[in-house]
Structure 1
């Protein structure tokens, strides 16, 4: 974890956290009814991968760097959501909406991983779980 004081044009203080993708928890999805199209013209087959990651307990403004996801490239389409896990460390138990506000501000894919900026509006560190949906062409 790296703590970065307010910089970059007055941005708030934030923490940078790096963890590794766990391939055993990823699930490749198939689409019923055919391929996804990549625009006009012939369709391009796509792969969808869903993944839930438990980051542990955090609060405040964070940059979460998920590394070692070898399928991911800078042009990968990635959707991310964040919430509190029912059971910390257990990505199968589910998530819930409590009183804390979880906000995903930015998502940026790169070779071998994805970075997200997340804010957890709560006074004490609480569990952060993120769901990822990667669209790979």
Structure 2
């Protein structure tokens, strides 16, 4: 898929989503949880590798019930998933690390919104994107 001149990789193959091989710069990524065939789209202006490693630690802490009281009380589809699975079965795939997307937050967020629409319409994965508003962070 191409959107606003940015090429997206939307072909996800189980076993190919290794967080250790993700770029250390910004872009747009997909989190795929293979056992439940769930997908979540995310973006960052910083390291995709670092962002997703922190997601794995967060997930594993939920599975081990090791979060503080406030975090442990969180609810939602993603929290339910990680409380059961932690990071087991979770893979991360680069959708795009196009330099324009890395450097232009507005374009990156616009692309992410477009991909959230795609995720709602596609039928291969269960869409677990829960984002309603868009952040002001990098």
The two structures have a TM-score, normalised by structure 2, of 0.31
Which structure has greater strand proportion?
1
Q: Which has the higher contact order (CA 8 A, sep 6+)?
A: 2
Who wins on radius of gyration, i.e. which is larger? 1
Which structure has greater helix proportion?
2
The two structures have a TM-score, normalised by structure 1, of 0.31
